[in-house]
Structure 1
Amino acid sequence: MASRNDYFKLHFIVFLWGFTAILGKLVTIPAVEMILYRALLAAIGMCIVIAVTKGTFAVTRVELIKLLLIGAIVAIHWVAFFGSARVSNVSVSLVGFATNSLWAALLEPLFNRTRIKKFELLLGLVVIAGLYIIFSFDFHYKFGLLLGILAGFTSALFSVFNAKFVRSIPAFTITLYEMIGVFLTLALFLPVYKNTWAPDHTLHLVPSLTDFLYIAILAGVCSVYAYSVAVELMKKISVFMMQLSLNLEPLYGIAMAMIIFKDKEKMGINFYLGTLIILAAVALYPLLKRRYDHLYTEKK
């Protein structure tokens, strides 16, 4: 069972992930190159952490292949998330990503062969409604919206897979091989990217010192630490609760952006209404889950 400390850790790492939007804006090189360096530095960081903590690098060949493939899913998620904002705007990207809780409500029962819980589907839809109220966006950005939804889908997908692996493999080990998977996937993708989507068909593989510093923070704090803690928490917290809490990420990101970039624009009533709806959905989940599980146990 998850404790209050576990839920505090969950929301703290969601807060850190909200900071990725700030760092992503500060970094000047394109998203694919940025993610490539992020994965490389994160993998190096995980090697150091495992060595210092005397953890294990050992996995079976089958486990290694599966973890690398999950890393490929993480790569698609990151490219879709950052790419959505690049081809449209941040609002479209975040609204698309908000579908992660809905995807989790569908995918978790599918892979675990359990019944879909109606209240999880309902809360997923409530969260999407809250974000829709906050972020008004133009439906002309169809491709950007599709990328955002892909980011939400892949986020739920790799969370479901990680929830299974964390039962038998240490969180740090999982994170290491998945970061390697992200790096290898993007490295293999670079030739295609260069000839299709790269600006001026040129790769920007030499970041400035400032860019490198921001990417290092992104890799160390937002990837090595936050990602490992998230995988560890999956032992106690359901995938759906993880995904539902992740919907606070854009709210944290906006709040930090206003502080760091000193945005003078005040938020309208729609922001506060949407925030209230999302917070209510996150707060209600543990209560509804406890009641639902209790009723289910009584019926059995």
Structure 2
Amino acid sequence: MSDKSHLNHLLWLTIGTIFISTSGALGKYISMPTPVIIWWRSFLAAIFLLLFCLYKGIDLKINNRKDRWTFFLAATFMGAHWITYFYALKLSNVALGMLSLFTFPVITALLEPLFSKTKFDLIHVLLGLLVLIGIYILAPEFDLKSSQLQGILLGLLSALCYALRILILKGQVVKYNGTMLMFYQVVVLAVILIPVLFFMDTSNITTQYPYVILLALLTTAIGHTLFVNSLKYFKASTASIIGSSQPIFGIIIAYFFLNEIPTIHTFVGGTLILLTVVIESIRSKFK
């Protein structure tokens, strides 16, 4: 790969990461019930991704029934991840929500031996402890009535759902196009969440639609597609390290658009969490 094309791929990967980082500020800002936001996000993203697949001639055929069930299960965990993450953002703030979500690389590493023939690695326990120390520093007080602690706990649940989704989909990435995988997941999620439109308030869409379109197009369709496509040119570990800058971009975006100023606890706890992501990503290069 020439230096120029390498820089181009690096630029697109960074742009994709910044686009995905907008989920924090948009999730906090959009004034609608969380399941309704996620339905609109999924429904609109499905349209954008379908148009992209048709334009690029991407094959949408699913090979067998087992893969259909895998897609369905992955979509369910993705939905649980998005919903708990958005509740985490609304209960706490963008910094705490995003940083607690970014425990997912270590959770993934700890769970991987249960899903594949990977051997259990003691270093993952140490990284897990480092993450727990980071979470302890993040939490202003360990009072379950505290909305910030509730937000952090929901962020951790979101990270668990995200890790499970990654592990379920891992074998499918080799067989199918990344955009096609994302398309089917948002389609399944949009179908699963149809009932929320009948018993939750959806009237705010008339004022919130520009932000919902941004969330579906910029964050979900373009951001995730750019990130998945970058895996063709970079090791997963390199993409993960750059991806771990999402909370940093998210905190900067939240500062400018929501006037959220992180505390010193957020900086120290967040640094420990992101340090574990970088350590694990660098280690995975040499395995």
The question of 1:256 aligning with 2:245 is answered no
Q: Residue 287 of structure 1: CA displacement? A: 3.8
Deviations 1:26-61 (A, max 9, x none): 211111111100000000001100111111111135
- Residue of structure 1 equivalent to 2:202: 205
1:183 matched residue in structure 2: 190
Asked whether the equivalents of residues 104 and 239 of structure 1 are also in contact (C-alpha less than 8 Å), the reply is no
Unaligned 5+ runs, structure 1: 195-202, 294-300
Give the alignment's TM-score, normalised by structure 2.
0.80
Unaligned 5+ segments in structure 2 are: 1-5
Cα displacement (A) at 1:239: 8.3
The alpha carbon displacement at 1:185 in A equals 1.5
Mean alpha-carbon deviation: is it higher for 248-257 or for 165-174?
Answer: 248-257
SS for the counterpart of 1:254 is helix
Q: Secondary structure at the match of 1:167?
A: helix
Is this contact kept in 1: 2:101–2:155, CA < 8 A?
A: yes
* Structure possessing the higher relative contact order (Cα contacts under 8 Å, 6 or more residues apart): 2
State the SS of the aligned residue for 2:193.
helix
Aligned-partner Cα distance in 1 for 2:141–2:239 = 26
User: Kindly, what percent of the aligned residue pairs are identical?
Assistant: 21
1:63-78 alignment, distance < 5 Å = 63-78=67-82
> In the alignment, which residue of structure 1 is the partner of 2:53?
50
2:174 is equivalent to residue 167 of structure 1: yes
Quote the offset at 1:79 in angstroms.
1.1
Distance 1:239 1:110, change over 3 A: farther
Alignment counterpart, residue 227 of structure 1, candidates 224, 238, 241: 224
Whole-Å Cα distance in 2 between the matches of residues 29 and 71 of structure 1?
A: 22
User: How far has the Cα of 1:73 moved from its partner?
Assistant: 1.3
- 1:134 Cα shift? 4.3
Q: Is the 8 A contact 1:247 1:278 kept in 2?
A: no
State the shift of 1:216 in Å: 0.8
CA distance in 1, matches of 2:124, 2:257: 35
Structure 1 residues 172, 41: CA separation in 2 closer, same or farther (over 3 Å shift)? same
CA 1:92–1:289 in 2, change beyond 3 Å: closer, same or farther? Answer: closer
Query: How many corresponding residue pairs?
Result: 276
Q: Which residue of structure 2 lines up, in the alignment, with residue 147 of structure 1?
A: 154
Would you say 1:158 and 2:165 are equivalent positions? yes
| Pair 9,152 (structure 1): closer, same or farther in 2 beyond 3 Å | farther
Indicate if the aligned counterparts of 2:237 and 2:282 stay in contact, CA closer than 8 A: no
Contact 2:27 2:89 (8 Å CA) reproduced: no
Provide the residue aligned with 1:285 in structure 2: 280
Q: Do the aligned partners of 1:241 and 1:285 also contact (CA within 8 Å) in 2?
A: no
Q: 1:232 to 1:127 in 2, by over 3 A?
A: farther
Q: Is the 8 A contact 2:113 2:120 kept in 1?
A: yes
Mapped to 2, the partners of 1:118 and 1:232 lie a distance apart of 32
**Secondary structure, aligned partner of 1:69:** helix
1:104 deviates by: 0.3
1:95 deviation in Å? Answer: 5.6
Deviation >6 Å, runs of 4+:
3-8
The answer to whether structure 1 residue 126 and structure 2 residue 130 are counterparts is yes
Partner of residue 105, structure 1: 109
Tell me the equivalent position of 2:84: 80
* 1:207, distance to aligned residue in structure 2 (A): 3.6
CA distance in 1, matches of 2:211, 2:27: 8
Aligned to 2:215: 218
Q: Give the stretch that moved more between structures: 161-170 or 43-52.
A: 161-170
Find out whether 1:13 has 2:7 as its counterpart.
Answer: no
Shift of the 221–147 alpha-carbon distance from structure 1 to 2, 3 Å rule, reads same
Structure 1 distance, partners of 2:96, 2:259, is: 22
Change (3 A) 1:71 1:289: closer
**Which deviates further from its counterpart, 151-160 or 270-279?**
270-279
**Inter-CA distance 230–83: structure 2 relative to 1 (3 Å threshold):** same
Distance in 2 (alpha carbons) for counterparts of 1:97 and 1:163: 19
**Aligned residue among 24, 38, 43 for 2:27:** 24
- Following superposition, the deviation at residue 272 of structure 1 comes to 4.2
Asked whether the equivalents of residues 75 and 185 of structure 1 are also in contact (C-alpha less than 8 Å), the reply is: no
Does the CA-based 8 Å contact 1:98-1:127 persist in structure 2?
A: no
C-alpha distance in 2 between matches for 1:12 and 1:127: 27
